[in-house]
Amino acid sequence: MNYWLLKSEPDVYSIDDLIQEGEGVWDGVRNYQARNNLRAMLPGDLALFYHSNIGMEVVGMVEISTAAFADPTTEDDRWSAVGVKPVRKFKKPVPLKVLKSDPYFEDLTLVKHSRLSVMPVTKAHFDAILALSEA
């Protein structure tokens, strides 16, 4: 079981959009490192859902429902997509500001490499963010 963080601009695709759909396709990734992370995902893996630009906070948790397949938004077979299902939306989202101000998260990729859109998260960090969402 692996843990991840998925980043999306909410005015393009938000956690509410995913909840409304019931199941979504995480596509449109055009970065090799992010794509490699998508390809390492397995059904049942859990991911945090982060809203970039607007909100700038971790807003919920999702589950990977389908392992990587060809990205349907392009003919180019270099790119991959995965299926995702909502698990829950946080009552109390966890702002980037909080993660940045806590030394515990200084190695979190979201903090260190803010441009990567699909990244692995350690179980410890994952659990700590869940705990903050309930604090």
Partner DNA sequence: GCCAACGTTGGC
Report the interface residues with DNA, using CB under 7 A: 7, 9, 30-33, 52-53, 56, 96-97, 100, 110, 113-117
Nearer to DNA, 1 or 76 (CB): 76
Nearer to DNA, 30 or 123 (CB): 30
Distant-in-sequence, close-in-space partners of 10: CB < 8 Å, separation ≥ 6: 16, 51, 53, 54, 55, 59
How many Cβ atoms are within 10 Å of 31's Cβ, its own excluded? 14
What's at 2, amino acid-wise?
N
The tokens for 128 are: 């700590």
CB of 81 to DNA, least distance (A): 16
Nearer to DNA, 32 or 104 (CB): 32
- Greatest CA span in the chain, whole angstroms? 45
Q: Where are the beta strands (DSSP E) in 9-79?
A: 24-26, 46-51, 57-70
Nearer to DNA, 119 or 128 (CB): 119
